[in-house]
A and B are shown apart, each in its own frame.
Chain A
Amino acid sequence: MLKIERVSKTFNPGTADARKALDNLSLHVKKGDFISIIGANGAGKSTLFNAVCGSFFVDEGRILLDGADVTMTPEHRRAKDIGRLFQDPMRGSAPGMSIEENLVLAAGRGGWLSMAGRKERQAFRERLALLGMGLEDRMKQPVGLLSGGQRQALTLMMATLSNPKLLLLDEHTAALDPGTAEKVLELTTKIVSENSLTCLMITHNMQSALELGSRTIMMDRGRIVFDTMGEERARLTVEDLLEKFREASGKKLDNDRMLLT
């Protein structure tokens, strides 16, 4: 499904600020996998997503999506196959446009000069109703009026509207209050399993990293330092995970946010 082969990326090469954000990293993701990714700040988790999405081109290595080499494919072309959610709920939708208009763009159906028909709008209504947030009755309202949780749920729906091959979730519940975060996470697992999407999820919540999905990887300094699935993963506790981190990186996990959650 997704093959990342020996990918490296250095920011600010040749300067005093040079930083190797991805270091010879390889990862094979099978169709239908749900992988949670953990790691301290600056470990390269978001950089990995940026590399997969094409926000920048990698210095070395290859990225294959469904057998096709997309290493040099521009971001907006890859976006056809990749849905992505950011931590910031504001990033995924256009605030000055209505819910309906956002959905029309995200669905990406029809030619440039086509308009959304009644049938398409009805389909949007039905899918919005599945979110259980009452958004189906506010389709003409600008997205800027929605709360963070509503906007993130809408973005989730927009990102999965065209059945992407890959869904990337970059701490997409971290900016929400605990109740809303839980609701959005529930929606996520529901949508992912119903559409049997392949999904990578960055999280700072160790507990949900182990509970959700089928595989967990841990990153440090641009590399994957720990990779677990199946029975081994089922037996792991949060304490084990912290211990693994110490072993792998030779230091204590210095992330308060991670320890506390």
Chain B
Amino acid sequence: MSLNAMLGLGQTALELALFNSLTVLALFLSYSMLNVCDLSTDGCYALGAAVGAVVAISGHPWLSIPAAMGAGMLSGLVTAVLQTRMGVNSLLAGIIVNTGLYSVNIAVMHGSSLLNMNKTVTVFTLAEDFLWDTPLGAYYALIIGGVVVALVIVFLAFFLRTRLGLAIRATGDNPDMVRSSSINPVFTTTVGLCISNAFTALSGCLISQNQRSVTVDIGSGMVTVALASLLIGGVFLGRRSIPVRAVGAVLGAFVFRLVYTIALRFSLPAFMLKLVSSLIVVIAISGPYLRRQAPLVKRRLQARFGKVGAREC
């Protein structure tokens, strides 16, 4: 493979990692801060892609971004209301919304499960036109991704220091304490899920506009991929301040994409991506648990089979 092709591959991987890292940041807010595992992520990602595409196709490339984020917020609101006001288990609420969104997404795409944006003016084509005779011309997607990710990190860094942000963090840490600080955990959960889903939808919107097409299953498995990235990021920059951890989440998305791209080079078929991400999540979550359990297992085995040589004593 030529150097140029390799660089091209690296650039594509970098772009994908940047756009997907927005979903990782969304999970950073919902999973790491709010302690809610939001299983509506897949559907919300596709919702953002669908809404963004439809709005862009109708001739409003700039409007597509806030429209996608607004749709994501609405989806987060439904998930939050189900689990805080209507007695639905938090995991189940996500799954229900995810299932419902499948129909919603096809309806948004006017009954089709595939939309093409080959001739559509999107934020990417606008940026491409704007930059085409500058040295940055080839990097328009990277620039958009980088700017958006930086904005989201800065937003999170500030937001999580405000009183509302602190209350959201405390809701995941000790809801009793939130209540005794005269703050309603229902409110903080709702706000947290709305914001995180807005980022998930933004992520899907940018990905689809960059690849110029949407399919209804564009988000399938996204929650596991993003969770894997989040946990990888935690390995590098886990126990630090909030902004550093947010950067770590993005770094995790890069590492995940890097490992995956290298694996592809060594002829791992592309369809293995989701199995690999599942394995990473399992290892990241069970690894520390199994390590804690190891001494106990050893003692139980010793108790059952006796220590080697112990019987002679």
Bound-state Cα–Cα, A111 to B163, Å: 7
Q: Does A33 touch B at the CB level, under 8 Å? A: no
Asked if residues A84 and B180 are in contact (CB atoms below 8 Å), the reply is yes
Cβ–Cβ < 8 Å partners of A115 in chain B: 161-163
Closest beta carbon of chain A to B165's beta carbon, Å: 9
A113 with B176, Cβ < 8 A, contacts A105-B181, A108-B182 known: no
A93 with B182, Cβ < 8 A, contacts A104-B163, A105-B163 known: no
Cβ–Cβ < 8 Å partners of B184 in chain A: 74, 76
Convert B282-309 into 0s and 1s, putting 1 for each residue whose CB lies closer than 8 angstroms to a CB of A. 0000000000000000000000000000
Across the interface, B174 reaches (CB within 8 A) one of A74, A75, A95, A108, namely: A95
Across the interface, A94 reaches (CB within 8 A) one of B162, B169, B182, namely: B169
Bound-state Cα–Cα, A96 to B242, Å: 11
Bound-state Cα–Cα, A158 to B169, Å: 17
Closest beta carbon of chain A to B169's beta carbon, Å: 6
Bound-state Cα–Cα, A79 to B179, Å: 7
Cβ–Cβ < 8 Å partners of B176 in chain A: 91-92
Asked if residues B180 and A80 are in contact (CB atoms below 8 Å), the reply is no
Asked if residues A113 and B177 are in contact (CB atoms below 8 Å), the reply is no
Across the interface, A114 reaches (CB within 8 A) one of B162, B173, B179, B185, namely: B162
Asked if residues A79 and B180 are in contact (CB atoms below 8 Å), the reply is yes
Asked if residues A96 and B169 are in contact (CB atoms below 8 Å), the reply is yes
Bound-state Cα–Cα, A126 to B133, Å: 60
Cβ–Cβ < 8 Å partners of B162 in chain A: 112-115
Bound-state Cα–Cα, A92 to B172, Å: 14
Q: Does B46 touch A at the CB level, under 8 Å? A: no
Bound-state Cα–Cα, A104 to B176, Å: 16
Asked if residues A79 and B163 are in contact (CB atoms below 8 Å), the reply is no
Q: Does A110 touch B at the CB level, under 8 Å? A: yes
Q: Does A27 touch B at the CB level, under 8 Å? A: no
Asked if residues B174 and A94 are in contact (CB atoms below 8 Å), the reply is yes
Bound-state Cα–Cα, A75 to B173, Å: 19
Q: Does B183 touch A at the CB level, under 8 Å? A: yes
Q: Which of A86-118 contact B (CB under 8 A)?
A: 90-97, 101-102, 104-106, 108, 110-115
Minimum CB distance partner of B162 in chain A: A113
Across the interface, B163 reaches (CB within 8 A) one of A97, A102, A110, A159, namely: A110
> Number of contacting residues on B, CB 8 A?
21
Q: Which of A57-85 contact B (CB under 8 A)?
A: 74-77, 79-80, 83-84
Q: Which of B151-179 contact A (CB under 8 A)?
A: 161-164, 166-167, 169-170, 172-174, 176-179
Bound-state Cα–Cα, A181 to B208, Å: 61
Bound-state Cα–Cα, A113 to B173, Å: 20
A76 with B166, Cβ < 8 A, contacts A94-B174, A97-B173 known: no
Asked if residues A76 and B163 are in contact (CB atoms below 8 Å), the reply is no
Closest beta carbon of chain A to B234's beta carbon, Å: 13
Convert B171-202 into 0s and 1s, putting 1 for each residue whose CB lies closer than 8 angstroms to a CB of A. 01110111111111100000000000000000
Bound-state Cα–Cα, A90 to B185, Å: 18
A97 with B166, Cβ < 8 A, contacts A91-B174, A115-B161 known: yes
Most buried by A among B162, B172, B178, B182: B182
Most buried by A among B163, B164, B166, B183: B163
Closest beta carbon of chain B to A68's beta carbon, Å: 15
Asked if residues B173 and A94 are in contact (CB atoms below 8 Å), the reply is yes
Q: Which of A158-178 contact B (CB under 8 A)?
A: 158-159
Closest beta carbon of chain B to A118's beta carbon, Å: 14
Closest beta carbon of chain A to B285's beta carbon, Å: 18
Asked if residues A108 and B170 are in contact (CB atoms below 8 Å), the reply is no
Convert B238-271 into 0s and 1s, putting 1 for each residue whose CB lies closer than 8 angstroms to a CB of A. 0000000000000000000000000000000000
Cβ–Cβ < 8 Å partners of A97 in chain B: 166, 169-170, 173
Bound-state Cα–Cα, A92 to B177, Å: 5
A105 with B174, Cβ < 8 A, contacts A74-B184, A115-B162 known: no
Asked if residues B173 and A105 are in contact (CB atoms below 8 Å), the reply is no
A105 with B167, Cβ < 8 A, contacts A76-B183, A95-B173 known: yes
Asked if residues B164 and A75 are in contact (CB atoms below 8 Å), the reply is no
Asked if residues A96 and B163 are in contact (CB atoms below 8 Å), the reply is no
Bound-state Cα–Cα, A177 to B24, Å: 44
Bound-state Cα–Cα, A102 to B174, Å: 11
Closest 3 CB pairs of A and B: A94-B173, A112-B164, A79-B182
Query: Can you name 28 A-B pairs with beta carbons within 8 Å?
Result: A75-B179, A79-B180, A79-B182, A83-B180, A90-B174, A93-B177, A94-B173, A94-B174, A94-B178, A95-B173, A97-B169, A101-B166, A101-B169, A101-B170, A102-B170, A102-B177, A104-B163, A105-B166, A105-B178, A105-B183, A108-B183, A112-B163, A113-B163, A114-B162, A114-B163, A115-B161, A115-B162, A159-B180
Binding site for B on A (CB under 8 A): 74-77, 79-80, 83-84, 90-97, 101-102, 104-106, 108, 110-115, 158-159
